[in-house]
Amino acid sequence: MKIVLKFCLFFATILAISSCGDNEGVKAKDKEVTSKASDITPIETLFSDEAFENPKMKDLLKELNLCSEKTSDTTDYDHPSCSPKFFKFFAMNKQIPLENSFLLQIKSKVSGFPLRRLLVFVRERGQLVKANGFVANLIGTRKSSTGYDDLLLRFNGREEDEPIFYNCYFSWNGAKYEFASVEVIQGDNWGGPVKEAFKDSMKVEIKKVLSQQNMFF
């Protein structure tokens, strides 16, 4: 699998270089990239806030039984307190109240889990229901006409004992987020952005790899 990924990225790079002789094409691509970049919001979660910006956030954690009300200790990862030191909320849709739909980023090592997780919750018939679960870090969003921004997730995978990182977009389909594209593949001193011509084929392969490594739940 790793060899296939390296070959695809190398071949895609050759295609990009060979197309640079068309100046008009380069300018058009530059405009397209600039337009797309303006729709993207990068996200970095440090879990450094002292308090939640919205008091409803703590109530939602309690409703989901994800934290302990009996402690304020922010060093006990096995029994996490209801603190932004462990949890980060993101709204899914500006038109929907936070308590009815939200993204929840959970810090690594919380409840014994080694990596960051992103959970997607929606309220159905008065109850919060998990629509998606990802073993991933939310690193950005991209504007969508649906009102639900596309999510840019970074997955930490492994191939032949080598760490490999995948940056992938997921789009809301009305009920949950589904795999849309793979944007970046990075290994140990190799890899980079996936060229447009390879995104359809790589989408199938990377979705299979992430599923096999239980990165969706």
Instruction: Please tell me the predicted confidence (pLDDT) of residue 1.
Output: 53
What percent of the chain is predicted at pLDDT more than 90? Answer: 78
pLDDT at 191 over 50: yes
pLDDT digits (tens, 9 = 90+) for 111-148: 999 999 999 999 999 999 999 999 999 999 999 999 99
Angle at 91 between CA 90 and CA 94, to 5 degrees: 155
What average pLDDT does range 8-30 have in this prediction? 40
Instruction: Please tell me the predicted confidence (pLDDT) of residue 202.
Output: 95
What percent of the chain is predicted at pLDDT more than 70? Answer: 83
Rounded to 5 degrees, φ, ψ at 103 are: -105, 140
129 and 122 Cβ atoms separated by less than 8 Å? yes
